[in-house]
Structure formats: C-alpha cells, structure tokens
Structure 1
Amino acid sequence: MDERILKYFQNELTVAERLEFLREAERDETLKRQFVEYQNIRALAHLSSYGEDREEGKKKYKQFAGRIRRINGYRWTVRIMKYAAVFAIVILSAYWLAERQVTDTFRKKLMAETNVLYAPVGQRARVTLQDGSVVWLNAQSTLTYPSSFLGSERRVTLKGEGYFEVAPDSEKPFIVSASQGVEMKVLGTKFNVYSYPETGIVRTCLLEGSVQVSCEGISSKGVILEPNQQVTVRNGKMIVGKIKHPAALLWKDGIYSFDNETLENIVRQLELYYNVEIHITNPALAKVRYTCKFRQRDGIEEIIHIIQKIHHFKIKIDKDKNTITLS
C-alpha cells in the first residue's frame, strides 16, 4: 500500500502534497483502489480511534485483510461484498466531495497567497516561478505573483522592467499585467517588458515564440508580435516595429547599453535605475549623443565620470539632496 494513504488520513501531508496525491489517485486506478480499500477498512474495522497511530493502522490493515482471506462460504462472501459495495459507494462519494472541497479551498488559499519581489536601487533580481518560468527584474522593479498557478491562467503583475522566459503550457496562458492597462499574453516564450510608470510608456520586445499585447481603450485583440519585434504603447497608441537596440536587453546580465542616445535620455534611464535626480543645466549638452556600455555594479557616480571622459562637462554631486548636476 502506498504510504501516502496513511499519511493522508493522519494529516501528515502538506497542502501541496494532498492536492498532488488526490490528483494522482484520480489518474491512477491502482492508487485509487488502494485509497478506497483503506477507507473501507477504516470504516469496517473501526480504525478511527487509531487515526494517529500509523503502526496500529498497518497492523489492523493486515489483520482485516487476513480475516477476509479466511472467510469461506458463498453467503458470507456475498454479505461482505454487499457491505463493501455500500461502503465503496459512500467512500467514493466522500472522496470526490472531499477532493472537490480540498481543491476549491486550497486553490483559493494558495492563489490568495501572493509574493512580491523587489529589485533594489542599482541591482537586479531573479526568480523561478512555481511553473518553472524564470523572471529577471531590473533595478527598482517589482514583480507580484501567486505562490501557485492553480487557475486557468498564470498571471503576474510587473512594475518596472522584467525579462521573462516562460515555461510552455498550451492550456494555461501566462499573462503579464503592466501599467496603463497593458497586458502581455503568452504560452511559452522569451520577452522583455519595460513598464516604469514614470516614463509614460510600456514597451514589449519579443525574442522567441510569440506574444499578444493588448491595451485597454486601444484594441481589444491587441497585436501579436513575431521574434525581433517590439511594440510601444504611448499616449493611447500602439506602435509596432523591429527591436532597435537588442543590446539594451543586456541589463539582465548586469550591463547597461546605449546606442546613439542623447545624454538627456541616458540620464533619464540612470535616474530610474539608481534613484537619483540628474540635472543638465546646459541645453546643448543634453542633446549630445553617446554610444556606450556600463556595468551595473559600477554605480551612478562612476558611470557619470566615464561619460564625462567622452565629452567633457562639469559634475556636481550633492549627496544630501541625492542630486547630480551636469553643466
């Protein structure tokens, strides 16, 4: 007999183990038969008083099984089989009712248990979800996700920037909810979502597979991206095109990459990553373009000094006010 049957009736299985056991019993006829048989034995042999004693339970099980084998005669066999059939019906009904109650109760409980992962300033984070999907978070980003995906979908919420490698599951789509009512729906793929609320844009870049991007008030069906495509949602519009700068996704490896970007745009990104205010007092300096890469661990001051070497300007750092001024 499967040892989990005893553990089940002695409440020694965790919530997840109970659910997995019941689902396996539903698929496995042998395990289901053992489960029902033990239920019958508990009822017929009045084993409920020994519910907390595993060894006693095993002993009674063997005694009862031996007693059945020693019973001879058609009349007693038929009588026992009648009782067993009645108990089997009752126990089966109880089993399916219990399975349904356990499934509904614990599904609600587990789905109500949410986790929040936050990547601090100047750092990144990585998490493997219950379904095997892997998510990287950029600095100052937050991912909210359930402890277990037990419903008809796998839904998470992103604030900031995240890179997703979604485990395939054709029957349970993976949905990312971002700012501005934007949602990404996939079955199994690799994609990046840029969704810092302060920027006013949501950009999804697809590397592998396919992803459907929709937005409230713009398109009910949304757009379906192909690999190496991106869609940007801004000011109530969705713009689809090719990924302009693939190296920008190297942030998950700890590298910030910019390609022919103005200093103004670069510092706006750095402000998000390092939670600092950067002021450019010289309008001409703000329009100077740079192509460069930085290591995340270098920190904001080191990055600013590296940029200064490319095109000279003055730097003033006020740590009390958490500001940097470029002139």
Structure 2
Amino acid sequence: MDKKLYQYFSGELTADERLELIHRIENDGQLKAEFIRLQNLTAVSQLSSRPTDRNEGKSHFKAFTNQIERNIRRKFFISFAKYAAIALILITATVWTTLHLSDIVIDSTMNTLYVPAGQRAQITLQDGTEVWLNAQSTLVYPSHFSKKSRTVEITGEAFFDVAQEKKRPFIVSTQHINMEVLGTQFNVYSYPDAGYIQTALVEGSLRICEKQNGKNAILLAPNEQMTLKESKMSITPISNPDHLLWRKGIYSFDNERLIDIIKKLELYYDVTIKVEDPEIFNVRYTGKFRQRDGIDEILHLIQKIQPFKIERDRDNNIITLTK
C-alpha cells in the first residue's frame, strides 16, 4: 500500500505533495482504485468529523437505541434505510469528485518539453499521440486533455502521429497558424527565425488556418506541403520526403542551396555560420548526414563537394566559410 495515500487522508501532505499524488493516481489505475476505496471508507467512517457533529450523532444514536428498546421494528428499518441512503449519496458524491474534479486540476497543468541543439526527442501524449521533436524545439502540452479538444503548442520542428478520436479534434498551434486534425501524420517546421512555416502531410487530412485571418484557411491532402511566407499560403507536392528522416537522426538535403542548408544547420546546432564569399551561397548540394556527426563533420563533408575554407571561433560559437 502506498504510504502517501494514508498521509493524504490524515492531512499530513503539503499542497504540492497532494497535487503530485493526484497526478500519480490519474496515471495509475491500481492506485486510483485504492484511492477511491480509501476515500469511500473514510467518508463513511467519518460522517461526524467535528465535535458538534459528534454530539449530534450521539443524540441521534440514543434516540435510535430507544426505538430498538421499544421494539418498533418498522421504524428501525426506516431509520436504517435513511442512513444507508445518506451513505450511498456520500459515496456517490465522493466517487464523482474523484473522477471529475481531479480531471479539472490536472487539465490546468501544462508541461513544457525543450530539446537542446544537436538533439532530438520523442514523447507519447496522454491520448496516445506520438510526437517527435527536432533540435531547439519546444512542445507545450497538458498532462490531461480536456473532453472537448486536444491542444498543444509547438515552436521549432515536430512530427505528429495523432491518435484518432472523432469527438476530440487535435489542434497544433504555432506562432502564426493553427492546424486541426482528427487522426493523421504530419510534420511542422516553425522556427521563429526561419522566416517561414512549412507543414507536410503524410496521411490523413489537415485543416490549416492563419491566426490573424481566420478566413485564410486551406485543407491539405496527403503528400502535400503548405508553406506560409509573408502572410501568403502556397501548396505544393512534398519536394523531399527524405527530409522527414530527421526523426531517425538523419538530415537530408536534395539539390538545396548552401545558404538554405546553412540556415537549417544554424537552427539545428545553435551556431552562427558566416559566409565571406557570396558565390558559395548558390552552390547546390544533395546528401544525407547523421545528426550525431555534428556541425563540424557535416561542413567537412560538404567541403569535399565544393572546396571552401572553414574557420571556427569556439569562444564566440562562430563558423566562417571562405573560398
């Protein structure tokens, strides 16, 4: 038996400890069942917890025993039924409070998951939805979704495999758009400094709505991607499906300009990359790199295709590329 349960009913826990216990109870079916059982027993056994209630209880008990002594069996059964009904109402109210009020407390608890540079993470939400987070990305999500909707916030890049629930839409919010789904797989690229937002749909359907202009909304089909840049939405086929391999720790670039690759590498590895010769910007590259190789190894691999010099200022976290 969990010691915290006894401390809870004896009033020995602080407010933070009580809230922590409620979170554990919600996620542990066996612990929740034991909590309800103890709460019901406590409610029935402590119907008179205050001194005035105990005195009143003694008075009623004395009258109750007098009825027995007078052998008025009919009144005895009526009184017993009343007490049983009161206990039943109290137990029902206790169970309702445990199942519903605890949900309200947990619903208000928001969690934040941040992934540092050069890392990635995967999390399974309360409804079974799986989320992968790329480097320097933040996911804000509730410990327990409400009964009407499932809403999370993302900054950076994330891939969602949403658990299907027809009655509870899943809503992903970024700094500029909201995406509503019922069950689907899609990728969101929404770094604040990227200058654009891009969503690629793998399967299912996805409704995308601009926050500042609710009328500016589109419905995305599988294998399509939406790009929002300067308040303009455009839909195109997914240009590079291998880009989604970042979930497995692989960065894929397909005929992309070095300037575009550099911008992503800066975000992924939290480093500043300066290019002294603009001609280098327009050179295009195709290749796949492992995330764990790090920024230095990736640049050295690119360097073999189009020679350039690499200077690293580790004190200021700056990399300079020159011809």
Give the TM-score category using the shorter length.
0.7 to 0.9
Shift of 1:20: 9.0
TM-score (norm 2): 0.77
Q: Which residue of 2 aligns with 1:257?
A: 252
* CA–CA separation in structure 1 for the residues paired with 2:156 and 2:296: 22
Spell out, residue by residue over 1:196-229, the C-alpha distance to the aligned partner (whole angstroms, 9 max, x if none). Answer: 0111222111111112111112334722211111
- Runs of 5+ consecutive residues of structure 1 not aligned to the other structure: 26-34, 52-74
1:218–1:237 Cα contact (<8 Å) kept? no
Spell out, residue by residue over 1:241-284, the C-alpha distance to the aligned partner (whole angstroms, 9 max, x if none). Answer: 21111111110010000111000000000000000011111111
Distance change >3 Å, CA 319–CA 223, structure 1 → 2:
same
* CA–CA separation in structure 2 for the residues paired with 1:324 and 1:300: 10
Distance change >3 Å, CA 290–CA 202, structure 1 → 2:
same
Q: Does 1:280 align with 2:271?
A: no
Q: Which residue of 2 aligns with 1:167?
A: 163
* CA–CA separation in structure 2 for the residues paired with 1:141 and 1:259: 23
* CA–CA separation in structure 2 for the residues paired with 1:208 and 1:273: 26
Q: Does 1:236 align with 2:231?
A: yes
Shift of 1:88: 4.9
Shift of 1:95: 4.4
2:43–2:91 Cα contact (<8 Å) kept? no
* CA–CA separation in structure 2 for the residues paired with 1:272 and 1:187: 30
Matched AA of 1:264:
I
Aligned counterparts, 1:128-147, within 5 A = 128-147=124-143
* CA–CA separation in structure 1 for the residues paired with 2:83 and 2:28: 25
- RMSD between aligned alpha carbons? 3.5
Shift of 1:157: 1.0
Shift of 1:147: 1.3
Matched AA of 1:238:
M
Q: Does 1:186 align with 2:181?
A: yes
Shift of 1:82: 3.2
Distance change >3 Å, CA 312–CA 98, structure 1 → 2:
same
Aligned counterparts, 1:107-146, within 5 A = 107-146=103-142
2:256–2:284 Cα contact (<8 Å) kept? yes
- Runs of 5+ consecutive residues of structure 2 not aligned to the other structure: 11-17, 50-71
Matched AA of 1:173:
P
* CA–CA separation in structure 1 for the residues paired with 2:308 and 2:240: 27
* CA–CA separation in structure 1 for the residues paired with 2:182 and 2:260: 34
* CA–CA separation in structure 2 for the residues paired with 1:126 and 1:48: 46
Residues paired across the two proteins, number:
284
2:253–2:288 Cα contact (<8 Å) kept? yes
Matched AA of 1:144:
V
Distance change >3 Å, CA 186–CA 91, structure 1 → 2:
farther
2:153–2:174 Cα contact (<8 Å) kept? yes
Matched AA of 2:270:
N
* CA–CA separation in structure 2 for the residues paired with 1:101 and 1:207: 42
Decide which moves more: 310-319 or 147-156.
147-156
What secondary structure sits across from 1:107 in the alignment?
helix
* CA–CA separation in structure 1 for the residues paired with 2:225 and 2:81: 62
